[in-house]
Chain A
Amino acid sequence: MEPSAMPEEEMPPSVAPSPAGCQLFGYVGIEAVLDQMKIKTMKTGFEFNIMVVGQSGLGKSTMVNTLFKSKVSRKASQPSQEERIPKTVQLQSVTHVIEEKGVKMKLTVTDTPGFGDQINNENCWDPIIKYINEQYERYLREEILITRKRKIPDTRVHGCVYFIPPTGHWLRPLDLEFMRRLSKIVNVVPVIAKADTLTLEERAEFKQQIQADLKTHAISVYPQEDFDQDPDDRVLNDRIREKIPFAVVGADQEHQVNGKRVLGRKTKWGIIEVENPAHCEFPLLRDLLIRSHLQDLKDITHNVHYESYRVRRLNESNRPALSPLNGLPGKAEGSSDL
């Protein structure tokens, strides 16, 4: 009997074939697959994990509440004596399920009280890095099992919002250190917190300074330039990159402005409308994080950050004596491993 392998003129099974283009003579209905996909994803639901990092009092919890229009985080507005600034950086995760128009989302917000609050803040980023890597490790363990779950629970941090205090000058060493280390393992979205203390000119100057600082220190924040997939993406992301970091104001109280109820902060000199693009850039942040780039955040976390963690982890558990590996069928490149 002749062996079953593909004859040479057809492509071997493991090589991506170069397909021929074909003209469709009529409607087939392939585009229905989009709807099928939508229905399926709506049924399984989404997971989104966000981390907020910054000194206490910068408005992190308020910001998260404003973003998701619900009481996601408990504000430390009147802390009791024990709840005051913790001695060490602690990470607190809270998970909620929110639903909008049939789309279910499991939202996890990780807060980092105690970050940057000590007198000596050396290595205060270590617990955070450890936490992020732990989530990757958890996912990796699940992925490596023989009998895997149908849907691996995703606790990896998809986005880290870093709150920059509105000094108006430049980034502090703590900010630079933190962002430098974390942008390598997670998507970092820097924001200028409490931006209502800056005038528009001060804000523009501050932003420019920050952008220059980031460039000099080669810190790539989200959206990273390297991951733009096509020219359209690049144009879109360039526009976003011009505005990074967003100057945001958080508020969860509603007030009356011109007969409408808006979210805002009421001060003696006026009401700062959170959702007014002329007042602050909160709408931009919200659109970026939720309405347009949420899936992109997840994809980059999965395809880039998680993969590089996996590579590092698998390489370090290789003893030097083990390479080159043999004994397993068909390993490519000699550097593959389990």
Chain B
Amino acid sequence: RQLRRNGGGGADGDDSLYPIAVLIDELRNEDVQLRLNSIKKLSTIALALGVERTRTELLPFLTDTIYDEDEVLLALAEQLGNFTMLVGGPEYVHCLLPPLESLATVEETVVRDKAVESLRKISQEHSPVDLEVHFEPLVKRLASGDWFTSRTSACGLFSVCYPRVSSTVKAEIRQHFRTLCSDDTPMVRRAAASKLGEFAKVLELDYVKSDIISLFTALASDEQDSVRLLAVEACVSIATLLPQEDLESLVMPTLRQAAEDKSWRVRYMVADKFSETFVSLQMYLCFNCIHSVLTIWLSDLCLLCPVSEQELVSDTNQHVKSALASVIMGLSTILGKDNTIEHLLPLFLAQLKDECPEVRLNIISNLDCVNEVIGIRQLSQSLLPAIVELAEDAKWRVRLAIIEYMPLLAGQLGVEFFDEKLNTLCMAWLIDHVYAIREAATCNLMKLVEKFGAEWAQNTIVPKVLGMANDPNYLHRMTTLFCINALSEACGQDITTKQMLPVVLKMSNDQVANVRFNVAKSLQKIGPVLDSNALQTEVKPVLEKLATDTDMDVKYFAQEAISGKHFTLINVNKLKMAIIKSEMHFNLLVFTVLVLA
């Protein structure tokens, strides 16, 4: 092996600089890693060879020697999808078909999928003529291949060429797809079922009705549940294609059958796709169907619930259950008031009593959907115990999650109900023994005030918060300060100056240093809300006194407050940032709770 190069570095940029043999040696290196590196830089090699020799020498070599490590083949399959320019543009793109065809028949799924992906990509670069002359025959060859791998790959290629070929060829493609849907190997049927929806989308409506529906029905009653569940998945796309008057007769019987399938995997898939399918089915037009399907679902839920009581429910089932919980909540908008009350309410109430906090939280977090339809009042009596229980859950993360929903709940339930039932809870969180809960509770109060207004705050929240300033526990006294920090802006100047400020000032004499330096911090924070008179006459003297405190930290924060006493807007922005940050933090935690609980 020798390397012929004229002048170091090949400065003249001649295309024929590198004999193909040298480059091919690189692609054939014994060391897999080196071979893989070479394949990953196939475009560099092709560029060095020029388009002509890439077509006539490199590609035939690649086509002939496809027996390699899957890793190398994967890289090759990927590279070839981006090779159009390197073989001379769309005019010559069909040269890429032979190597990709071989790759589409290998065993390893990852390689095959990548080859199909690349084939789909370059199919778009074919002219309609080339598509019929070169691409479509390839699809046909794959579809009638001996081994299941090529037939599986063919399934993914029908939909990309169908729209751009003549009607005779279209008929052939439909025939091939039909054949593959009833293939002998379940692997091929699975591939066909998973492409059924995609293929249906490119078909003319008449063929959807005549061909696709029968295929869908057949696949949905396949002997293997792995095939059936993929057919259910395709249902969503098929339903969107059909006119409403046909849905009942063409899709519903199969869907109903799938909802009752003996395999939990299939039922799970129906559950998963439930609301999605129903939206596309526009079910408000056929109430009968809803009724029967819902009955099945109710029984499935009832089936799962007793199992959970015996603590024998598996993770998967919990997952199914909570997936159902959220899906069913979403249904209420589609079903309308009467149906929701009749069918969903009992279910919903049962779920609120579920022993798994995740299920309960899922229901509560989706309350807004139900509220839009029947009003939350219908539920408030059942809702309350569930909320109270979650609010007192032993896991602080669960408590945190329910706090997150408080503003939402307050909005749904209204001031009156809130004051009566939930206010105490909100106040109780302020003295929780976990700091994260107290912090969240503070933030919650702020959001409530934003919702219900300053007047409400003045009457309900503020007195209670200020009352805690006299609590023997210094942590609770500090909570007062934190609440004031959070509430002052929402409550406005009047309340802040008249009610909050005196309490803060009085606390500057607290015997615990932590409280005193938090007074300094609070004064800095509420400064922007106060008028300049109060700042000068009341705040300044207190801060000056604290600046001479015996405790180092108190001194420090007092001086900080004095030096930043002109209280620029920046401080306010910082506070807002902090709130936004803590909200993000909540969401993350809520997510964690939902997963862990």
Are A and B associated in one complex?
Answer: no
B residues apposed to A, CB below 8 Å: none
